[in-house]
Amino acid sequence: MVVLLLTVTGLCVIASLLLIPYIRRYAAAGVCTSSARLDGKTVLITGANSGIGKETAWELAARGARVIMACRDLVKAETAAQEIRADTGNEQIIVRKLDLADTKSVRQFAENIMKEEKMINILINNAGMIMLPYTKTVDGFEIHFGVHHLGHFLLTHLLLDFIKKSSPARIINVSSFAHNFGRINFKDLQSEKSYSAGLAYCQSKLANVLFTRELAKRLQETKVIVNSVHPGTVFTEITRHSSALTLVWKGLSFLLKTPREGAQTSVHCAVAEELQEISGKHFSDCTPAFVAPQGRNDETARKLWDVSCNLLGIQWD
């Protein structure tokens, strides 16, 4: 019994030590130090009406960018846009409807953007959620995989030629440290045989890392770079679907990053001059970060790409 208790305590201590760098608020280490301006550039951010996305929009608007906030809820998005316009004095904040859980909405959105806009210099695939009970997207995909991976995969595919024409350009996929606990279960990608909301989240965040890796390879001859990001553990409303997780988040809030701090790594990847040639990497606290072995597997990345194309009925060579 004593041995068991000591072992469990020891494991908890080791786990805490390993996790501390990922949950602790880095007052200085995680701040984007670049002073690059984005006047004349256009940025598109998904899920920009709250949390990390909203603060990313604020930061990039303050640097002079035209910011397109791609959101599900137009009322919330317009309220957030008004705040950003008032705070930054930048009137170029555009709100557009996008539901990543519906491929028709993604297609309509991309079509409208390419008609309305002259360029997209920075695409930030940020929208997300966690701990939903088993839910399917409009097209029948498991919600975490469908929104985080397939929705953003399709959006990027549809906009890529337009982004290439706007280059130099950058794509940022907001993933998570949670990718470390993920596995791509090709035998049950939609978690129909067994479902765990946590594992579905981890699988989808691993998919973000693998997508980044494969896309970077395919963009080698272009002036478009793509990187993934762990924003830190951030006190946002992302826990809204789980009251237990919301309690934990509130209890730990003094340790967690604020949304503004959580936006820093996305901002860094979007603007830092020294990243102009850096692609296919993963960042945390504005520095290159560890990628789990399953996130570095080229065969899995290629297979996931092909399977994603099949699921979405698209050709993307």
Ligand X SMILES: NC(=O)c1ccc[n+]([C@@H]2O[C@H](COP(=O)([O-])OP(=O)(O)OC[C@H]3O[C@@H](n4cnc5c(N)ncnc54)[C@H](O)[C@@H]3O)[C@@H](O)[C@H]2O)c1
List the one residue from 44, 57, 84, 100 that touches ligand X (CB under 6 A). Answer: 100
Residue with tokens 């606290």: 285
Q: Would you call 195 a catalytic residue per the annotation?
A: no
Q: What is the DSSP letter of 133?
A: P
53 and 80 in contact (C-beta within 8 Å)? no
Q: Which residues make beta-bridge pairs with 149?
A: none
| Both structure tokens of 81 | 């846009």
- Smallest gap from Cβ 115 to ligand X, in A, equals 20
With b for 16 or more beta-carbon neighbours within 10 A and e for fewer, the 259-294 pattern comes to bbbbbbbbbbbbbbeebeebbbbbbbbbeebebbeb
268 and 285 in contact (C-beta within 8 Å)? no
Any contact of residue 87 with ligand X (CB under 6 A)? no
List the one residue from 41, 63, 66, 72 that touches ligand X (CB under 6 A). Answer: 72
- Smallest gap from Cβ 165 to ligand X, in A, equals 25
Any contact of residue 182 with ligand X (CB under 6 A)? no
* Amino acid, single-letter form, for residue 5: L
Q: Which residues make beta-bridge pairs with 142?
A: 136
Interacting positions 2-61 with ligand X (CB under 6 A): 46-47, 49-53
**Cis, bond preceding 168 (omega within 30 deg of 0):** yes
Any contact of residue 263 with ligand X (CB under 6 A)? no
Considering CB under 6 A, how many residues would be counted as binding ligand X? 27
Any contact of residue 227 with ligand X (CB under 6 A)? no
Interacting positions 129-148 with ligand X (CB under 6 A): 129, 147
- Which one of the spans 85-93, 108-116, 236-244, 291-299 is the region binding ligand X (CB under 6 A)? 236-244
Distance between CA atoms of 174 and 33, rounded to whole angstroms? Answer: 19
List the one residue from 122, 189, 197, 238 that touches ligand X (CB under 6 A). Answer: 238
Query: How many C-beta atoms surround the C-beta of residue 1 within 10 A?
Result: 5
- Smallest gap from Cβ 286 to ligand X, in A, equals 15
Pick 236 or 302: Cβ nearer ligand X = 236
Sort residue 140 into left (φ over 0), alpha (ψ -120 to 50) or beta: left
- Which one of the spans 24-32, 60-68, 155-163, 226-234 is the region binding ligand X (CB under 6 A)? 226-234
Pick 76 or 164: Cβ nearer ligand X = 76
Question: Rounded to whole angstroms, what are the CA distances from 157 to 47, 167, 292, 309?
Answer: 18, 15, 25, 10
**Which is the catalytic residue, given 22, 26, 134, 201?**
201
Pick 245 or 302: Cβ nearer ligand X = 245
Pick 101 or 123: Cβ nearer ligand X = 101
SS3 68: strand
Any contact of residue 174 with ligand X (CB under 6 A)? yes
Pick 128 or 280: Cβ nearer ligand X = 128
Any contact of residue 98 with ligand X (CB under 6 A)? yes
Any contact of residue 212 with ligand X (CB under 6 A)? no
Relative to beta strand 66-71, strand 169-174 is unpaired
Catalytic site positions: 201
Per CB under 6 A, residues contacting ligand X are 46-47, 49-53, 71-72, 98-101, 126-129, 147, 174, 176, 230-231, 233-234, 236-238
